[in-house]
A and B are shown apart, each in its own frame.
Chain A
Amino acid sequence: MGPLEITGSVRLVLGLVTGILFGFILQKAQVTKYEKIVGFFRLTDLTVLKVLLAGILSGMVGVYALHNLGLVNLHIKPTIIGANVLGGLIFGVGMLLLGFCPGTCAAAFGEGRLDGLFRGVVGILIGAGLYSEVYPFIQDNFLKLGDYGKLTIPALLQVNAWSVIIALVVVMGGFLVWLDRTGHRRSTEEFAGRKHPGGHTVVPR
């Protein structure tokens, strides 16, 4: 029982194959575009949100089922309210300005969009490096601010995991279906309308 134990170079090949499948899905979901990511934050094109929430919902049912069967371990990241919230706030501003997150930036590169790669990867590397440099300071401050360890929503509410999963599937699933029917795709159409017949974008002066 438990997950497979794959080590050594086979594990590296497994990582590569997993990444290829991940990148394939991200491209086919069309979340690899600046317009889609920015549209998510402008609430004009919610493709990113819909794909993300649908992934969370199907994944939570599947992974918790496998966990109940004893086939997988959960890997819960520690809840440190100060670090999770402040990190998330900083990340959101950066993701809007860059128009990509690390995964979609890598996928956008594969489909030929070098914008995120050129303007993003250098920054992400600097930001990650900077964090290592200030880590000793952060370790004594933000990483102790509201530290609750590996906390899950069912543990917090003291209920069975499946109560939470079923509730989320009903509420978020309903929300997704509603979103799909109201059709939040304004930005795509907005931009189709701004183009010259030749396909060049009009630059406003």
Chain B
Amino acid sequence: MNWLRKDEWPWWQAGLLLGLLSMATFYTADYYLSTSTTFSRVAGMLLGLVAPEHVAANAYWQKVKPLVDWQFMLVIGIPIGAYLAARLSQGIVHFSAQLPDLWVSRFGASRGQRWAVGTLGGILVGFGARLADGCTSGHALSGGLQLAVSSWLFLAAMMLSGVVTAALVFRRV
């Protein structure tokens, strides 16, 4: 079981396991690895706390209902699995809201700036995933492996804009 205690698995082992997990997911759940729809459901649940009629009348939340489903539980499971994986290799998992080293070396230690840019990035991630109908897991991985044209378009577009933005943002580093 030393393999489970390793800090990092080689990319091909992790990739192979993602493929096997995808196969198991199609067979057991008649669905695919995906996460971002859950964020729509949670947004609907939270907004429903203050404006239930508004959420009930919304065309998108009628399609993607604010309820707990298979994928919702999958999203809950992800941090549990990551915790177990980190625990097995590190012994103890230290929770910290420390800014990433790369961020600090490029933008400095201002938490306000990280909040502003991170929240803006999150808004774009949330909106873009809904518009494209999937994210890195539902579109790029699961759609890509099904040879869906939509998913390969998404992957190409996301890589293009990410690479261009990275070139602009990290120009001076």
Residues of A participating in the B interface, judged by any CB pair closer than 8 Å: 2-6, 11-35, 38, 40-43, 47, 50-64, 66, 71-81, 83-104, 106-116, 118-133, 135-136, 138-139, 142, 148, 150-154, 156, 161, 164-165, 176, 180, 187, 191, 194-195, 201-204
Contacts and interface: CB of A to CB of B under 8 A. Distances in A.
Contacts of B124: 90-91, 93-94, 97-98, 123, 127
B46 A77 contact: no
A180 B66 CA distance: 43
A14 B115 CA distance: 35
Contacts of B47: 129
B139 A77 contact: yes
B69 interface: yes
B11 A98 contact: no
A135 B159 CA distance: 25
Nearest to A28: B9
Contacts of A127: 39, 122-130
B74 to A, nearest CB: 4
A98 B136 CA distance: 14
A29 B144 contact: no
B144 A56 contact: yes
Interface of B: 6-9, 11-12, 14-33, 35-36, 38-40, 42-44, 46-47, 58-61, 64, 68-86, 89, 93-105, 108-109, 114-115, 117-163, 165-167, 169-170
26 contacts: A3-B28, A23-B85, A35-B100, A38-B166, A41-B163, A50-B12, A51-B11, A73-B26, A87-B128, A87-B133, A97-B121, A97-B124, A102-B126, A107-B82, A115-B97, A120-B118, A123-B118, A125-B43, A125-B126, A126-B126, A132-B60, A132-B130, A150-B148, A152-B147, A194-B101, A201-B105
A21 B8 CA distance: 15
Given A29-B14, A76-B150, A139-B59, 5 more contacts: A72-B30, A91-B129, A98-B125, A106-B79, A115-B98
B17 A122 contact: no
Mostly, the B contact residues are helix
B164 to A, nearest CB: 8
A179 B62 CA distance: 45
Nearest to B95: A112
Contacts of B32: 75
